């Protein structure tokens, strides 16, 4: 019923890489047409190398992803913190993966709001997952990180700056933080599924019972 249907088949239903790639091409083209993103052609050209770079990022992160799953497979509660364009990843990963797919109590918090209450729940055994991107809000994440380093022994930081992304210009990197975060979190999901013996497909209520 839509005016412009976009159909994109992805082998992995839980992977959002391919969907996000299409959205980058679409949304930034719309910005370009509106006069807000004049560098679209260069940006789109560089996106062509991104799938290969995402694989490299996954390979680089693999050991950390498995170690996280081993360390936290029985963890009852996580705080997931993001800011700027990683906030959407923090929100969706907490709700759609850790809660819906793994039944783990999780709170997603924007870094700008963390110090307005949530900080009081941090104890030395509180698991905190920080998603650090490269946009203008990075300093908000750094502030949360400095706090977390002092008060919890269970801190996980996923920082897109640690991944080279050769072929991507420095000026475009900040836009790609969400897709890099997504591709790394996918590896955590796979390992949590394995270590917890809890399929990502299992649901008790979601699309299972009337509501």
Q: What is the CATH number of the domain that holds 183?
A: 3.40.50.10490
The tokens for 174 are: 């900040």
In-domain check, residue 101: yes
In-domain check, residue 67: yes
In-domain check, residue 172: yes
- The reported pLDDT for the residue numbered 162 is 98
Provide the pairing of β-strand 105-110 with 77-82.
Answer: parallel
Query: Number of folded domains in the chain?
Result: 1
- The reported pLDDT for the residue numbered 11 is 72
Count CB neighbours of 179 within 10 A: 24
- The reported pLDDT for the residue numbered 14 is 62
- The reported pLDDT for the residue numbered 15 is 65
Measured CA to CA, the distance from residue 134 to residue 176 in angstroms comes to 9
With CA atoms as reference, report the closest residue to 108 among 87, 124, 126.
87
- The reported pLDDT for the residue numbered 188 is 98
Measured CA to CA, the distance from residue 144 to residue 111 in angstroms comes to 7
In-domain check, residue 1: no
In-domain check, residue 103: yes
In-domain check, residue 28: no
* Residue stretches of the chain with pLDDT short of 50: none
3 state DSSP class of 117: coil
With CA atoms as reference, report the closest residue to 79 among 34, 125, 46, 37.
125
In-domain check, residue 65: yes
| Alpha-carbon separation of residue 68 from 13, 125, 197 (angstroms) | 22, 15, 15
> What are 98-120's pLDDT values in tens digits?
999 999 999 999 999 999 999 99
Provide the residue range defining the domain that includes 174: 48-195
In-domain check, residue 27: no
């Amino acid at each position: 019923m839509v005016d412009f249907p976009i159909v994109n088949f992805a082998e992995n239903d839980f992977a959002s890489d391919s969907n996000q790639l299409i959205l980058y091409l679409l949304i930034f083209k719309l910005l370009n047409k509106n006069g807000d993103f004049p560098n679209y052609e260069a940006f789109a050209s560089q996106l062509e190398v991104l799938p290969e770079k995402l694989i490299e990022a996954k390979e680089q992160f693999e050991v950390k992803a498995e170690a996280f799953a081993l360390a936290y497979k029985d963890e009852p509660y996580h705080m997931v913190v993001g800011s700027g364009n990683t906030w959407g990843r923090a929100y969706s990963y907490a709700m759609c993966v850790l809660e819906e797919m793994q039944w783990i109590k999780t709170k997603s918090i924007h870094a700008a709001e963390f110090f307005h209450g949530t900080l009081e729940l941090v104890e030395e055994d509180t698991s905190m997952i920080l998603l650090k991107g490269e946009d203008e809000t990075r300093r908000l994440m750094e502030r949360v990180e400095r706090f977390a380093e002092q008060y919890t022994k269970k801190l996980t930081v996923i920082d897109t700056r640690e991944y080279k992304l050769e072929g991507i210009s420095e000026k475009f990197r900040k836009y790609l933080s969400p897709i890099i975060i997504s591709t790394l979190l996918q590896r955590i999901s796979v390992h949590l599924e394995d270590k917890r013996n809890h399929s990502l497909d299992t649901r008790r209520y979601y699309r299972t019972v009337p509501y």
